[in-house]
Amino acid sequence: GESVGLHLPTLSVQEGDNSIINCAYSNSASDYFIWYKQESGKGPQFIIDIRSNMDKRQGQRVTVLLNKTVKHLSLQIAATQPGDSAVYFCAENRGRGGSNYKLTFGKGTLLTVNP
Amino acid sequence: DGGITQSPKYLFRKEGQNVTLSCEQNLNHDAMYWYRQDPGQGLRLIYYSQIVNDFQKGDIAEGYSVSREKKESFPLTVTSAQKNPTAFYLCASSSPGTGPNTEAFFGQGTRLTVV
């Protein structure tokens, strides 16, 4: 089965609310995690990343939290906007960097923002 | 502008035909990847290449072939052995040589349909 999975396949929020998208991973050796946003018919776009030696990282309107104890990753989007509507994927790097770099993706969560 | 270019955007294949999907990058990245995405699914790794003239099988390599003769190019051939080729194909590149934790950049995808 998938090593990286999501608790909620769909999430619907009102414009202006905060969104939280969750992701579980099973490989405790994974040392790097990325959140991607994919709009319909397009390739994934990088949102934010986090290394395993961190538990929180903030970007513009987004925050990623990493809980290594329970192998859980979350993406928080503040003041969600209609343009945030997309599928969000978490990905883990199972390699140890360098020549073993290889991302494994979860199935994704569809975020719908209602005006 | 630097980036990854996939072509064509849409491709139709007849039963029993081989088709080749193009992926070119001008980011000077060492590593390149091919993923397959089915509706409502995450990305599954087909093949990846960490350096010119070298490539590795991913999780679903059967029925596909690749080459990496140039750093900029990583074409994917979908052979007649691939029994269910209809999918969205995504190419990505990264530069793990600059550090172990760098994100992958994606192209805009090729949608392949068997007719």
- B39 within 8 A of B51, measured Cβ to Cβ: no
Instruction: Please tell me whether the peptide bond between B8 and the residue prior to it is cis, using omega within 30 degrees of 0.
Output: yes
Which two tokens mark A46?
């990088």
- Whether residue B109 and residue A99 make contact (CB cut-off 8 A), yes or no, is no
**Residues whose CB is less than 8 angstroms from the CB of residue B39 and which lie 6 or more positions away in sequence, other chains included:** none
What are A39-93's pLDDT values in tens digits? 988 999 999 999 889 999 999 999 999 999 999 999 999 999 999 999 999 998 8
| Terminal CA-CA length for chain A | 36
pLDDT tens per residue, range B70-88: 999 999 999 999 989 999 9
> A103 at the B interface (CB within 8 A)?
yes
Residues of A in contact with B49 (CB under 8 A): none
Give B27 to chain A, closest Cα distance, Å: 15
With CA atoms as reference, the chain B residue closest to A109 would be: B40
Beta carbons of B43 and A44 less than 8 Å apart: yes
